[in-house]
Structure 1
Amino acid sequence: MGRDTVRIASDRHSADTADLAFRWSVEADGEIAVSGALSVPVLAPGESAEVPIPDAAATALASGTRDTVLTVEAALAADEVWAPAGHVVAWGQRVVPPAAAEKPQSDRDTTPRAVSSRGDGFPRSQAEIALGPGVFDAATGRLVRLGDLELDGPVLDLYRAPTENDHGQGETNNIAGVWRKTMLHRLLHRIDEVDAGDGRLRVSGRTAPRTHPHGVAWTMTWTPDGDGVVLEVDADFVGPWSDTPYMHRDILVPRLGLLFGLPGAAERVTWFGRGPGETYVDSFEASRVGRFAASIDDLQVPYPVPQENGNHVQTRWLEVAGAGIPSLRVDGRPEFDFTARRWSSHDLDRAAKPHELVDSGRVWLNLDHAQQGVGSASVGPALPEQYRIPRERTTWSLRLEAR
């Protein structure tokens, strides 16, 4: 697609496109703003054409303060023996970044303050710190309440339940074996400092295995933002991760992100990003950018052998809701990956059969800066470098609000 045109190309072998009707739509923040029919000349096999986009589409694309998405579809104009009229046979999208939007201004008192503790079933120390709508454990710096929503987290998460491809063929491709030998599945989280002041809360610490020298030093900085809070994370890989003396090879990190525990009453998610099925950095081309909704249970892919599943890349925003609890809204700056499930990655790792996965009583929500690709190492080569997570100092940001 060009700036003011779309390119329609026919890859058909012998039929022209006379049986197809073309249509367009523009979504703003996941909602269809405008739509209509697109006039496309009949194309012979192998032909292509540059078609102007309608003025209404161009106006909608230029006026968004969030990502806007132009979608063009080719659908059957009439019933065929193999599919009904309206069946989509091809589609393409253009995602337009948002125009500069005014940052929400907070009318809250941004001074961190001590508040009394209240029982809610989540572990915490007696003292707490309030910052805007957020309440934090004073000892760990974890967010334990956002508005009226009880939650717990985050912790820095570097691990995922291995896929069949992570186990791979041969020593070179068995990266899951390296994770276990280097204790990525048994990480400890140390809190070095919780500093409340200057209108923000700064928590620093280290996430690392108990008996190995590699780890990640991190800082999480929270600031109020209107009715929500903004979290900025700085993570730096420290110690010997490359050509380690005890493995003589690099350690690939499967995930770089944050893990939250939400109440078990959370039951459904709505998001604007890639979907509707699971997507990973190396397997998303068949997915659309749009607004999708699903139950948390339906997000799970029931592979015969439990393993990592249900990730969604390029997420712009996410809402997690349930009966009797406020919903959690997460906005990417600009994007993030997410998974949500009723069992942890460690539960997935331990389970040999799907029936061994049971509801933990919480919903475990991963909000990731990145997760490595799926690859094909169980039957093919190792995961290509571009789908791995660079072990370098990384900063990312999210905004959270309870509604």
Structure 2
Amino acid sequence: TGMDLFVIENGKVIQGGLVADLNIGPRQTQTLTLPIKANYKEGKEYFLNVYYRLKTAEPFLEKGYEIAYEQLALAGMPKGNTYADVKKTLNVTKNEDKAIVKGADFNITFDLKKGILTSYNVKGQELLTAGPKPGFYRAPTDNDIGAGLNTKLRMWRNVYDDPSNDIQTSVTSTPNSAQITITSNLLKGDEKTIQVFTISADGTIKVDNQFKAVKGNYKSLMRIGNDLQLNNNYGNIQWYGRGPGENYIDRKTASLIGNYKSTVDEQYFPYARPQESGNKTDVRWVSFTNKQGKGLRFEFTDHLLSFNALPYTVEDLDPEAEKKQYHSGELVKRNQIFVHMDLQQLGVQGIDSWGSMPLIQYQIPFKDYAYSYYIKPVK
């Protein structure tokens, strides 16, 4: 076989090489000198992508056919983004129902009764129409249904929207920043969520999430993250993380870390039964833009992100507890983009075809969690 080599810097190819004469027998090892140069820069991360290809044609396989690939970490670590103080001014207004933060070219509105951001408008364009709000549920997969999770974990679906939740808010500001804190007691006080939105004068939002397991005995969560709704015009996606196809915490190593482009309409895989689809893990940043290249960018800070973005709601993809029978071809796309921006999603299991929970390291136990990220306008 031959071996193609590519050095990746922050998701982009910067070097290439070839080992043409690779002839190693089964269970043998060989030391190779690779035709690449090590020139690593501070603050960047590097990977070596290796592809093994046939040097000559074989029955049913043409010359150059890729028979295996691997990605090896060379140097550097993903570096979380930090907050930059912007010397501009903000205007913050508040009443019992709403808080509105205005900058030179943006408006951000919070519904203080429901405890949710309801509008993020930049230069007259509505980008976010709801969220980020705490989310703990996903559309059940076939394996989830086999394990009974569509009923056992159903209490987490739309739990943040329960009108009986006790929601408390506070609004503080300085001349060039604003902070909105939303605290909600869920499941009659068993779970507590604290979201802190720090808004800078350039329109950047830092979202700090805390999830506290107060009391109760719950087997697991399906997700630990945030739900958002984006304007449908911002359907071009670019991300630096694992791809290009869907990947999950227990099904990800075949998806290489890189810089990828796609669209929201390409994210859903039409499984026979509608279900969770299109997730991406180990994400450093992801942007959603329109045809003019304007939109929003999400950047990790302390933990790598997991995201998916679909033209369907969780409810559209959920067969409900009674496991109703319908098919992906019956789905109707909505005029919004429904995004999960998560710390983690439950593994997709499949260890015994169906019926079992994921391995313990891929579950999300009921305990305290915290993570944060930035939302930045792409102007």
Structure 2 length normalisation: TM-score?
0.83
User: Is residue 2:344 matched to residue 1:344?
Assistant: no
Per the alignment, do residues 252 and 355 of structure 1 end up closer, same or farther by CA in structure 2, a change over 3 Å counting? same
SS of 1:26 mapped into structure 2: strand
Question: Is the CA contact 2:3–2:50 (under 8 Å) kept in the aligned structure 1?
Answer: yes
| CA–CA distance in structure 2, aligned partners of residues 100 and 317 of structure 1 | 11
The Cα shift of 1:176 comes to 2.0
The Cα shift of 1:289 comes to 1.4
User: Is residue 2:365 matched to residue 1:387?
Assistant: no
- Which residue of 2 is the match for residue 296 of structure 1? 264
Per the alignment, do residues 305 and 137 of structure 1 end up closer, same or farther by CA in structure 2, a change over 3 Å counting? same
User: Is residue 2:1 matched to residue 1:27?
Assistant: no
SS of 1:167 mapped into structure 2: helix
SS of 2:318 mapped into structure 1: helix
Question: Is the CA contact 2:134–2:193 (under 8 Å) kept in the aligned structure 1?
Answer: no
Per the alignment, do residues 134 and 66 of structure 1 end up closer, same or farther by CA in structure 2, a change over 3 Å counting? farther
The AA in structure 2 aligned to 1:356 is E
- Which residue of 2 is the match for residue 49 of structure 1? 30
| CA–CA distance in structure 2, aligned partners of residues 81 and 160 of structure 1 | 44
| CA–CA distance in structure 1, aligned partners of residues 347 and 79 of structure 2 | 32
* Aligned length, in residue pairs: 357
User: Is residue 2:360 matched to residue 1:398?
Assistant: no
> Aligned ranges for residues 174-189 of structure 1 at < 5 Å?
174-180=148-154, 183-189=155-161
The Cα shift of 1:69 comes to 1.9
User: Is residue 2:339 matched to residue 1:361?
Assistant: no
> Aligned ranges for residues 174-323 of structure 1 at < 5 Å?
174-180=148-154, 183-189=155-161, 190=165, 191-198=167-174, 199-206=177-184, 208-209=186-187, 212-224=188-200, 228-240=204-216, 242=217, 250-323=218-291
- Which residue of 2 is the match for residue 137 of structure 1? 109
| CA–CA distance in structure 2, aligned partners of residues 393 and 275 of structure 1 | 29
Deviations along 1:343-394, whole A, 9 cap, x unmatched?
A: 1111211473223321221001111000000112663533221111132222
> Aligned ranges for residues 157-168 of structure 1 at < 5 Å?
157-168=135-146
The Cα shift of 1:301 comes to 1.1
| CA–CA distance in structure 1, aligned partners of residues 30 and 72 of structure 2 | 17
| CA–CA distance in structure 2, aligned partners of residues 33 and 147 of structure 1 | 35
SS of 2:361 mapped into structure 1: helix
Counterpart selection for 1:372 from 338, 341, 346: 346
| CA–CA distance in structure 1, aligned partners of residues 369 and 103 of structure 2 | 25
For structure 2, the 5+ residue unaligned runs are none
| CA–CA distance in structure 1, aligned partners of residues 79 and 284 of structure 2 | 16
Per the alignment, do residues 53 and 100 of structure 1 end up closer, same or farther by CA in structure 2, a change over 3 Å counting? farther
Per the alignment, do residues 200 and 78 of structure 1 end up closer, same or farther by CA in structure 2, a change over 3 Å counting? farther
| CA–CA distance in structure 2, aligned partners of residues 345 and 25 of structure 1 | 39
| CA–CA distance in structure 2, aligned partners of residues 225 and 86 of structure 1 | 53
| CA–CA distance in structure 1, aligned partners of residues 220 and 70 of structure 2 | 34
Per the alignment, do residues 251 and 390 of structure 1 end up closer, same or farther by CA in structure 2, a change over 3 Å counting? closer
The Cα shift of 1:54 comes to 4.2
Per the alignment, do residues 108 and 359 of structure 1 end up closer, same or farther by CA in structure 2, a change over 3 Å counting? farther
Higher RCO (Cα < 8 Å, 6 or more apart): 2
| CA–CA distance in structure 1, aligned partners of residues 363 and 80 of structure 2 | 33
For structure 1, the 5+ residue unaligned runs are 1-19, 117-123, 243-249
| CA–CA distance in structure 1, aligned partners of residues 44 and 185 of structure 2 | 34
Structure 1 length normalisation: TM-score?
0.79
The Cα shift of 1:125 comes to 5.9
SS of 1:188 mapped into structure 2: helix
Deviates more, 1:25-34 or 1:252-261: 25-34
Question: Is the CA contact 2:90–2:201 (under 8 Å) kept in the aligned structure 1?
Answer: no
Question: Is the CA contact 2:208–2:372 (under 8 Å) kept in the aligned structure 1?
Answer: yes
Question: Is the CA contact 1:276–1:287 (under 8 Å) kept in the aligned structure 2?
Answer: yes
The AA in structure 1 aligned to 2:214 is V
The AA in structure 2 aligned to 1:65 is G
Deviations along 1:112-160, whole A, 9 cap, x unmatched?
A: 52269xxxxxxx9665123687633243451622534521311101111
SS of 1:230 mapped into structure 2: strand
The AA in structure 1 aligned to 2:120 is R
The Cα shift of 1:337 comes to 0.6
Per the alignment, do residues 126 and 368 of structure 1 end up closer, same or farther by CA in structure 2, a change over 3 Å counting? closer
Deviations along 1:212-252, whole A, 9 cap, x unmatched?
A: 55323222232438663322222212231x2xxxxxxx331
SS of 2:144 mapped into structure 1: helix
Cα RMSD after superposing both structures: 2.9
| CA–CA distance in structure 1, aligned partners of residues 238 and 54 of structure 2 | 29
SS of 1:347 mapped into structure 2: helix
Deviations along 1:267-325, whole A, 9 cap, x unmatched?
A: 22121211121111111122211122222121101111111111111111112122367
The AA in structure 1 aligned to 2:305 is F
